[in-house]
Chain A
Amino acid sequence: MRRIVLIVLTISIGSFLLPSFAFSQDDASAKDARRKNKKICRQLLRSAKISFRDGAYNEAKAFLDSLILCDISNPDAYYFLSKINLVRGDTHAAESQASTGIEKAPKSSRLKLLLARIKISLGDYAKALELTESVLKIKPREGKALYYKGLALKGLGDPTAINILEKAVETTFDRKSN
């Protein structure tokens, strides 16, 4: 119940503040509105994460939809929407959300890796490989990227997959022990 009240409250505040931000001509008040807007976005994301963690996916989705209203380019919003669809078994919707997220935030490694995972489950190993390699270019010791690269290579029948998977485990252990 408290959460529903919170949803209604945040959406109402959001819809009240957003137009004031959009049409404000006054610099100071625009700055203030931007600050408030940012705060609301953060609050919405936090609430979405809690709901997602608790398995309350409808609630989480409501928060994320509001978050997109608040900040249309927020990569986290697309990331969690995609994850919700994945949990619900709608892989194609998850793929679409992750792709939209990457369009909005082309540098997001997290979204690229999520999309790579989805591509693997859809059997598109070549695209998954491309995505993981673009992450590894920037973060060569990213365990999850190595993991998905290994899976993609395995899917493609590449015998080097085992080396990459082994490296993925070792890299992850190293990171966890440091």
Chain B
Amino acid sequence: MKPIFSNFLTRVIALALFVMSIIVAPSATAAFKYLSEGMKAPELSGVDLKSGEKISTRQWLGDNLIIVVFWSTWSPRSLEELQSLKELHAIYQDQPIKFIAVNVDGQNISPITRDKINSTLADLDLPFPVIIDDKLSIFYEFGVIAVPSTAVLDSSGVLKYGPAGFSLTTKDRIVDSIDVFLGLKKPDKVAQFRDGYRPKNKSSRFYNMALNLGLKKSWERALSILDSAEAADSMFAGPHTLRGDIMIRLERYEDAQTSFAKAIKLDSMVVAAWAGWGQALLKSGTIEEAIAKLKHALDLDSEYTPAFLDLGMCLAQQGLYDDAIDSLNKAKELNFANPTVHYYLGQVYRQAGNDDKATESYIKALELLYPSD
């Protein structure tokens, strides 16, 4: 005899398992292109705008959980997050938790922007240090992909949680991270907590060296240092992702794809590698495959700006202008100060025959490229 509820029960159990898998599955947090969970974050230093004192995260290592937020005056969600962190600071002020806000308004802070930053801070009255990343050097070193972005670093400076944007759950997840650090919660009970892979120190050092060379556009030297990073730790995905990025810069798209594939084989949660692979495919004209990879990156992290950007360009190539514009607008929402977003939007609007919107987008890109005007 066939059990009456067998089908129903099977479905319920399957649904429950599916829901649980969503809840407990480690989601990738990819606020930073060059930094994943488990990797040691670069040191931050600057002058606190309020006290005028020099601040460095190095002085907090050893005892404290460090919460870094990258924010800007042009991002309303940044202000929400700062307000939220101010509340958390009040709750945890007696605990070994340090907060620091890094302003990333732009590459060259004009006097007008500086006034805007000061008046925003006067309104917020934050109880923790705020530094300005004037040349955006910290921004590039971390590879920040959206504003705001948060980095929760443990007492040894290792990234534990790094969400892009400020969603409804970001604050709760930061609280979870704090609770894990304080021993109030077990890490396996926290959905977003992912230990990631902690690379060997020697490999990390080579990786950071290559990253800095890459930022200075010394591509060949960076590639040779990456050989050493890979040799020092064959399980570390970071060097392969970075190599892929450099290969794209060098227009060696086949090599880029090979590198991203290697990174993903080592760690399938590296969003930057999926998005990079998608970009390499887009550049080599393999649009369908590019879309699949980019969508996978967005499944892992729904706020990953570079993937929205390239997905928009893929869709435009397929003549799907409305979808392309939607994707690019999502990238704009996450990283309004990125001139590339506006430039791409301009191109797509132009292809779609909307010259007025295209002109507006080009002007916005130029305003960002020449901020002091």
Contact = CB atoms under 8 A, between A and B. Distances in A.
Chain A complexes with chain B: yes
Interface of A: 52-55, 57, 87, 117, 143-144, 147, 150-151, 154, 159, 161-162, 165-166, 168-169, 172-173, 176-177
12 contacts: A144-B370, A150-B366, A162-B358, A165-B362, A166-B346, A166-B347, A169-B339, A169-B346, A172-B369, A173-B340, A176-B369, A177-B217
B62 interface: no
A64 B195 CA distance: 56
B11 interface: no
Contact of A151 (B347, B363, B365, B369): B363
Provide the main secondary structure of the chain A interface: helix
Provide the main secondary structure of the chain B interface: helix
A42 B362 CA distance: 38
Contacts of B355: 159, 162
B138 to A, nearest CB: 19
Nearest to B112: A87
A154 B114 contact: no
B329 interface: no
Contacts of A147: 366, 369-370
Contacts of B340: 173
Interface core residue of B115, B355, B365 (most chain A CB under 10 Å): B365
Contacts of B350: 162, 166
A168 B366 contact: yes
Given A55-B111, A169-B339, A150 B373 contact: no
Contacts of A52: 111
B111 A165 contact: no
Nearest to A173: B343
A104 to B, nearest CB: 22
Given A52-B111, A143-B370, A169-B346, 4 more contacts: A162-B350, A166-B347, A166-B358, A177-B217
A169 B366 contact: yes
B359 interface: yes
Given A162-B358, A166-B346, A172 B366 contact: yes
Contacts of B111: 52-53, 55, 57, 87
B369 A161 contact: no
Nearest to A55: B111
Interface core residue of A168, A169, A176 (most chain B CB under 10 Å): A169
Contacts of B370: 143-144, 147, 172
A162 B359 CA distance: 6
A89 B282 CA distance: 46
A166 B343 CA distance: 8
A78 B339 CA distance: 30
A166 B362 contact: yes
A168 B365 CA distance: 10
Nearest to A56: B111
B135 to A, nearest CB: 13
A176 B217 CA distance: 11
Contacts of A166: 346-347, 350, 358, 362
Contacts of B358: 162, 166
B373 A169 contact: no
Contact of A161 (B115, B347, B359): B359
B362 A150 contact: yes
A161 B358 CA distance: 11
Contacts of B347: 166
Interface string B29-73: 000000000000000000000000000000000000000000000
A89 to B, nearest CB: 10
Contacts of B359: 154, 161-162, 165
Interface string B130-160: 0000000000000000000000000000000
Contacts of A87: 111-112
B369 A55 contact: no
B373 A168 contact: no
A54 B217 CA distance: 30
Nearest to B366: A147
Given A117-B373, A162-B350, A173-B343, A55 B115 contact: yes
Nearest to A162: B359
Contacts of A151: 363
A169 B343 contact: yes
A134 B114 CA distance: 33
Contacts of B346: 165-166, 169
Contacts of B114: 54-55
Nearest to B114: A55
Nearest to B113: A55
Nearest to B115: A55
Nearest to B355: A162
B329 to A, nearest CB: 18
